[in-house]
A and B are shown apart, each in its own frame.
Chain A
Amino acid sequence: EAQVTQNPRYLITVTGKKLTVTCSQNMNHEYMSWYRQDPGLGLRQIYYSMNVEVTDKGDVPEGYKVSRKEKRNFPLILESPSPNQTSLYFCASSLFGGPYNSPLHFGNGTRLTVT
């Protein structure tokens, strides 16, 4: 089944403890992206990757890192999480050329709580 898989689904952690949220897609998509979704603020893009070894900042990249060593994986790293990073995170992918002409496929989300 074609899908975007994120893990974990729920994560509770403490301030400053490094964490990684994994994202993997099995559709051979070139484009991958991370979003966070917060009430009243909607979906905001954190980082995106047009292809392997190519990553760019989105609208809210501060406090996050990403890497794209393989086409299928796009992990999101929080080196020193803070409470303001408590949010619902989504990984998404699309075939090529960004999310403009081909639809985004979303994972089921990771709900992160930082205390």
Chain B
Amino acid sequence: QKEVEQNSGPLSVPEGAIASLNCTYSDRGSQSFFWYRQYSGKSPELIMFIYSNGDKEDGRFTAQLNKASQYVSLLIRDSQPSDSATYLCAAEMNRDDKIIFGKGTRLHILP
């Protein structure tokens, strides 16, 4: 079992709706959490970073962290076709800068 788990999808969401992506992690010592977007054939790009419980908002993106339940989520509001990509969740293990990724969730925004 991977230390960071994601539903592989695909997740299909109508344009303009809210896309909700979820991630769970197994190591309670994990401190920092990341969401990356990766287009096909491209490198991952960091879009959100969170290390405190609660919500963090940046434009159309909101990251949510619940350390007690060991889950992280990403909400994308007003979804656009350009949001269609694979979204990778990652966690930093035990403060030693070891960053582990989940398998990623494929998101399709339907025009």
A and B: bona fide binding partners: no
Measured CB to CB, the residues of A under 8 A from B are none
Measured CB to CB, the residues of B under 8 A from A are none
